[in-house]
């Protein structure tokens, strides 16, 4: 088990390193220099070739990609000094560089944005899992009835609506047109728990409810399958109550595939929910990455991509470990 | 050392002098999108304590469906059950789930085939056994239940039961899994054990061990056993009585020795003809029954076996294809029932069937 985890972590490290290299390569070999974007913005659309030259030099784009990537990687491990104009800023390890836009250390900003994304992801995922599995189990137990068919068609209808439209309409109708929910947004939990909760309530519900539709269908399918297994007949023949048969015997088996998918989905939520953060005005990782991509803010893009890839690699390992715990027949090696 | 418990309805059964299990005119039907499936029709049998009834028949003949009805395991919404099943004096047909639950695994237990699929893959063998025990002994502690589980594993011949109790089913061999299945079935001392093809998918030596074990346990606990199989060898070894089923109906019913030596129904002849015998003369032929089992959705008119029966022409006036024969005593006494129009089946069996399948037996007699 331990050897397996070490092996997977090493492979994951390799994947993350390759991804970070690819981000650098994209910026270096892309059609337009990121310096041009910055120069244009900071000189009110009057970027002269001389100015551009200065920006390129300051951001290191006239150096080779390998030496700049090397500096970035060294900063990540040991920290580094970054020259901004006349002053030199010391960036502590893990140094992810300075944002082109704010000239502030990326890692510091990440620390302020992470709680917003984590709050959003945990809340939404809890709602997704609770609604999805509960409704799925209920539908499976009433398989073939009108209620079951109605539920399945509703979830299919729901998931055929594009998420951005669903989120946008729920924001529009539930906070602006009808005053059902308070204004959304993120307030740190430690500042004001009440505001934290009310500001995130609608985003949680919108994201959680929308994602739950696929979990409903998925857990219904897994449950229908496990309810028809021979060991369920055995459990009933033993004289167990139907609650124990369904919850302890059928659901336990049905949860294995659900957990597998949930692990990966949750990682994607943590890596940033772009639409949700944008529509509901939450300053999280996803929106930060989106804004940075639009203005070609390399250090921020690199940081969000790095974070996302680490989360997904780690989630995959955790899912495999949970899988081996849930199903004793699975051995990690 | 085991906790004493009373069997529901046991006293009533003892008082009436009725066999422990009485099935009367049982009909099980399943409504489907294609129509009503007649899984079991008008089936009657009984089993006394200490006795073994063998139920034989092809796949889809209603063997398992009828025995599952004994424990009320059919979903009330998707099945229609008529007739009467009295288990230790308690009427099971129409009983609510809440009243069935205390009977299941307690008054009557089932041992299923393919223990790998029938045991839950995610739970330890021991915890599946204790779960069965605690379901009917809510006052017992977990420690008691575990001790009882180890005791049962030991009783069914699992080596080092105190260690194997913490194994998962996939860590057991096929024979050991079936033993564990039996241990789980017997953990509450049921008076009736329904073994649904308990030796299918096991190799022959293990099969023999499992059958021996069931017989030992029966002698020890004086329980009634129903053994469902399509293997006449198992029947010959285990059963006191045999019920042959075809197309959801009983087609022959009698004492094992009597029925196997003087079968009176062409389907039973067919079953006997298709049993291979290692000691037989190589001249003896293995004769399969032609055709397929009947559709339970649209059963054939008349005798359900007539489309496959080689002796239809011996019955006058096309009776076989127009009228369903009654299950009635033949020429061998009131305890041997058969469902066949043939006037003198014994003569046909002796003169035409036996020489085909066992020439050496003919010479002896």
pLDDT, tens only, B325-334: 999 898 888 8
What CA–CA distances, in Å, run from B173 to A229, B114, B156, B158, B227? 20, 12, 14, 11, 22
Instruction: Decide if pLDDT at B2 tops 60.
Output: no
pLDDT at residue A7 in the model: 92
pLDDT at residue B230 in the model: 84
pLDDT at residue A330 in the model: 85
pLDDT at residue B282 in the model: 66
| Mutation for testing the B interface, residue in A229, A233, A237, A241 having most B CBs under 10 Å | A237
Domain's final residue, options B244, B275, B302: B244
Mean pLDDT, chain A, as a whole number? Answer: 90
- Chain-chain contact of B135 with A240 (C-beta, under 8 angstroms): yes
* B212 and B350 part of one domain: no
- Mean pLDDT lowest among A14-28, A75-89, A198-212, B220-234: A75-89
- Chain-chain contact of B105 with A237 (C-beta, under 8 angstroms): yes
pLDDT at residue B10 in the model: 43
pLDDT at residue A326 in the model: 87
Over residues A25-40, the mean pLDDT reads 83
Tokens in use for A234?
């055995």
Over residues A60-88, the mean pLDDT reads 85
Tokens in use for B29?
């039907």
Domain's final residue, options A73, A105, A137: A105
**Is residue B316 domain-resident?**
yes
Over residues A201-206, the mean pLDDT reads 93
Q: In chain A, what percentage of residues exceed pLDDT 70?
A: 100
- Tell me which residues of chain B, numbers 183 to 222, contact chain A at a CB-CB cutoff of 8 Å: 184
* A111 and A222 part of one domain: yes
Kind and range of the H or E run holding B109: strand B108-111
* B141 and B35 part of one domain: yes
Over residues A37-60, the mean pLDDT reads 83
pLDDT at residue B284 in the model: 59
Q: Please tell me which residue of chain B has the smallest CA distance to A249.
A: B120
**Is residue B256 domain-resident?**
no
Q: In chain B, what percentage of residues exceed pLDDT 70?
A: 91
Count of domains observed in chain B: 2
pLDDT at residue B3 in the model: 43
Question: Domain range for residue B26?
Answer: 10-244
DSSP-derived pairing of the beta strands B328-329 and B337-338: antiparallel
**Is residue B186 domain-resident?**
yes
Count of domains observed in chain A: 2
- Mean pLDDT lowest among A157-161, B166-170, B298-302: B298-302
Domain's final residue, options A44, A74, A105: A105
Instruction: Decide if pLDDT at B1 tops 50.
Output: no
* A158 and A290 part of one domain: yes
Nearest-CA neighbor of A302 among A39, A55, A44, A59? A59
* B172 and B41 part of one domain: yes
* B238 and B276 part of one domain: no
**Is residue A92 domain-resident?**
yes
* B173 and B86 part of one domain: yes
**Is residue A1 domain-resident?**
no
Q: How many angstroms separate the CA of residue B38 from the nearest CA in chain A?
A: 21
Residue pair A298/A100 in contact (Cβ under 8 Å)? The answer is: yes
Over residues B115-130, the mean pLDDT reads 94
Compare CB distances from A328 to B73, B132, B168 and report the shortest one's residue.
B168
* A282 and A153 part of one domain: yes
- Chain-chain contact of A231 with B110 (C-beta, under 8 angstroms): no
* A141 and A57 part of one domain: no
Domain's final residue, options A105, A123, A150: A105
Residues from chain B contacting residue A229 (CB–CB below 8 Å): 117
**Is residue B250 domain-resident?**
no
**Is residue B349 domain-resident?**
yes
**Is residue B258 domain-resident?**
no
Q: For residue A178, what is the domain's CATH number?
A: 1.10.3720.10
Compare CB distances from A252 to B106, B109, B122 and report the shortest one's residue.
B122
* B137 and B274 part of one domain: no
Tokens in use for B254?
């009698």
**Is residue A199 domain-resident?**
yes
Over residues B302-324, the mean pLDDT reads 87
* A172 and A248 part of one domain: yes
Q: How many angstroms separate the CA of residue A231 from the nearest CA in chain B?
A: 4
* A91 and A117 part of one domain: no
- Mean pLDDT lowest among A8-22, A56-70, B36-50, B221-235: A56-70
Tokens in use for A30?
């892309």
* B203 and B111 part of one domain: yes
- Band of pLDDT at residue A200, cut at 50, 70 and 90: very high
**Is residue A243 domain-resident?**
yes
Residues from chain A contacting residue B184 (CB–CB below 8 Å): 234, 238
| Mutation for testing the A interface, residue in B79, B95, B122 having most A CBs under 10 Å | B122
Q: Report pLDDT digits (tens) over A260-312.
A: 899 999 999 988 788 999 999 999 999 999 999 888 888 999 999 999 999 99
Q: Please tell me which residue of chain B has the smallest CA distance to A324.
A: B122
Nearest-CA neighbor of A4 among A320, A322, A326, A325? A320
User: Chain A within 8 Å of B106 (Cβ-Cβ)?
Assistant: yes
Q: Report pLDDT digits (tens) over B149-201.
A: 999 999 888 999 999 999 999 999 988 999 999 999 989 989 999 999 888 77
Residues from chain B contacting residue A247 (CB–CB below 8 Å): none
* B216 and B294 part of one domain: no
Q: What are phi and psi of B82, to 5 degrees?
A: -125, 165
Q: Please tell me which residue of chain A has the smallest CA distance to B118.
A: A231
User: Chain A within 8 Å of B97 (Cβ-Cβ)?
Assistant: yes
pLDDT at residue A304 in the model: 93
* B148 and B219 part of one domain: yes
* A100 and A121 part of one domain: no
**Is residue B72 domain-resident?**
yes
Terminal CA-CA length for chain B? 54
* A42 and A152 part of one domain: no
pLDDT at residue B281 in the model: 64
Residues from chain A contacting residue B117 (CB–CB below 8 Å): 229-231
**Is residue A19 domain-resident?**
no
**Is residue A60 domain-resident?**
yes
* B238 and B123 part of one domain: yes
* B289 and B360 part of one domain: yes
Instruction: Decide if pLDDT at A257 tops 60.
Output: yes
* B329 and B181 part of one domain: no
* A149 and A280 part of one domain: yes
Instruction: Decide if pLDDT at B358 tops 90.
Output: no
Query: If DSSP states are collapsed to H, E and C, what string results for chain A?
Result: CHHHHHHHHHHHHHHHHHHHHHHHHHHHHCCCCHHHHHHHHHCCCCCCHHHHHHHHHHHCCCCCHHHHHHHHHHHHHHCEEEEECCEEEEECCCCCCECCCCCCEHHHHHHHHHHHHHHHHHHHHHHHHHHHHHHHHHHHHCCCCHHHHHHHHHHHHHHCCCHHHHHHHHHHHHHHHCCCCCCCCCCCCCCCHHHHHHHHHHHHHHHHHHHHHHHHHHHHHHHHHHHCCHHHHHHHHCCCCHHHHHHHHHHHHHHHHHHHHHHHHHHHHHCCCHHHHHHCCCCCHHHHHHHHHHCCCHHHHHHHHHHHHHHHHHHHHHHHHHHHHHCCCCCCC
* A36 and A149 part of one domain: no
**Is residue A278 domain-resident?**
yes
- Band of pLDDT at residue B11, cut at 50, 70 and 90: very low
* A298 and A205 part of one domain: yes
Question: Domain range for residue A302?
Answer: 107-326
- Chain-chain contact of B71 with A234 (C-beta, under 8 angstroms): no
User: Chain A within 8 Å of B109 (Cβ-Cβ)?
Assistant: yes
- B349: Cβ contacts below 8 Å, ≥ 6 apart: B262, B263, B264, B269
Q: Report pLDDT digits (tens) over A207-234.
A: 999 999 999 999 999 999 999 999 999 9
**Is residue A23 domain-resident?**
no
Q: How many angstroms separate the CA of residue B253 from the nearest CA in chain A?
A: 27
ipTM at complex level = 0.85
Nearest-CA neighbor of A292 among A308, A268, A310? A308
pLDDT at residue B363 in the model: 57
* A66 and A125 part of one domain: no
**Is residue B2 domain-resident?**
no
Instruction: Decide if pLDDT at B8 tops 50.
Output: no
Q: State the count of interchain CB pairs (< 8 A) between A and B.
A: 67
Q: Report pLDDT digits (tens) over B65-107.
A: 999 999 999 988 889 999 999 999 899 998 998 999 999 999 9
Mean pLDDT, chain B, as a whole number? Answer: 87
- Chain-chain contact of B121 with A234 (C-beta, under 8 angstroms): no
């Amino acid at each position: 088990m331990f050897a397996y985890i070490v092996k997977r972590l090493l492979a994951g490290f390799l994947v993350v390193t390759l991804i970070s290299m690819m981000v650098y390569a994209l910026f270096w070999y892309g059609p337009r220099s990121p310096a041009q974007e910055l120069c244009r913005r900071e000189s009110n659309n009057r970027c002269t070739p001389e100015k551009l030259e200065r920006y390129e030099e300051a951001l290191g784009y006239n150096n080779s990609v390998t030496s700049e990537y090397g500096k970035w990687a060294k900063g990540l491990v040991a920290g580094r000094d970054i020259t901004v104009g006349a002053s030199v800023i010391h960036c502590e390890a893990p140094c992810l560089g300075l944002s082109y836009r704010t000239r502030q250390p990326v890692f510091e900003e990440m620390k302020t944005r992470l709680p917003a994304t984590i709050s959003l992801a945990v809340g939404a995922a809890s709602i997704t899992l609770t609604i999805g599995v509960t409704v799925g189990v209920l539908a499976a137990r009433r398989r073939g009835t009108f209620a079951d068919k109605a539920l399945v068609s509703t979830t299919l209808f729901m998931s055929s609506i594009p998420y951005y439209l669903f989120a946008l309409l729920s924001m529009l109708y539930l906070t602006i047109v009808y005053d059902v929910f308070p204004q959304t947004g993120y307030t740190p939990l430690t500042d004001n728990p009440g505001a934290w909760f009310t500001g995130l309530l609608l985003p949680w519900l919108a994201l959680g409810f929308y994602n739950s539709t696929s979990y409903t269908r998925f857990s219904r399918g897994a449950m229908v399958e496990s309810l028809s297994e021979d060991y369920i007949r055995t459990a009933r023949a033993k004289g167990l109550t139907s609650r124990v048969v369904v919850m302890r015997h059928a659901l336990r088996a049905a949860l294995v595939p659900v957990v597998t998918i949930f692990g990966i989905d949750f990682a994607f939520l943590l890596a940033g929910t772009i639409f949700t953060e944008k529509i509901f005005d939450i300053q999280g990782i996803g929106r930060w990455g989106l804004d940075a991509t639009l203005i070609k803010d390399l250090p921020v893009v690199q940081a969000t991509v790095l974070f996302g890839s680490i989360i997904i690699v780690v989630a995959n390992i955790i899912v495999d470990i949970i899988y081996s715990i849930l199903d004793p027949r699975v051995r990690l090696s | 050392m085991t906790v004493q418990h009373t069997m529901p309805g046991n006293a009533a059964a003892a008082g009436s002098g009725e066999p422990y299990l009485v099935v009367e005119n049982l009909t099980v039907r399943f409504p489907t999108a294609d129509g009503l499936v007649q899984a079991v029709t008008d089936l009657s049998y009984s089993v006394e304590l200490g006795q073994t009834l063998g139920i034989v028949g092809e796949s889809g003949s209603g063997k398992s469906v009828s025995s599952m009805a004994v424990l009320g395991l059919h979903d009330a919404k998707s099945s229609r059950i008529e007739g009467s099943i009295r288990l230790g004096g308690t009427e099971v047909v129409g009983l609510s789930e809440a009243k069935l639950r205390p009977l299941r695994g307690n008054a009557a237990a089932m041992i299923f085939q393919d223990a790998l699929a029938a045991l839950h893959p995610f739970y330890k063998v021991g915890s599946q056994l204790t779960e069965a025990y605690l379901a009917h002994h809510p006052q017992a502690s977990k420690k008691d239940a575990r001790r009882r589980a180890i005791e049962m594993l030991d009783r069914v011949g699992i080596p080092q039961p105190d260690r194997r109790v913490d194994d998962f089913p996939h860590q057991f061999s096929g024979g050991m899994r079936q033993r564990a299945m039996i241990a789980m079935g017997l953990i509450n001392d049921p008076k009736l054990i329904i073994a649904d093809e308990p030796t299918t998918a096991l190799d022959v030596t293990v099969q023999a061990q499992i059958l021996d074990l069931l017989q030992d346990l029966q002698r020890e606990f004086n329980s009634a056993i129903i053994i469902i199989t399509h293997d006449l060898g198992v029947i010959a070894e285990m059963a006191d009585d045999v019920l042959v089923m075809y197309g959801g109906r009983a087609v022959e019913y009698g004492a094992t020795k009597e029925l196997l030596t003087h079968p009176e129904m062409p389907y039973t002849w067919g079953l006997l003809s298709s049993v291979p015998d290692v000691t037989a003369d190589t001249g003896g032929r293995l004769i399969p029954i032609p055709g397929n089992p009947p559709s339970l959705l649209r059963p054939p008119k008349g005798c359900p076996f007539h489309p496959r029966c080689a002796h239809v022409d011996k019955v006058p006036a096309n009776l076989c294809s127009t009228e369903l024969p009654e299950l009635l005593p033949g020429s061998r006494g009131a305890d041997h029932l058969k469902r066949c129009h043939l006037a003198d089946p014994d003569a046909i069996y002796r003169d035409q069937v036996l020489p085909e399948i066992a020439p050496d037996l003919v010479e002896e007699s």
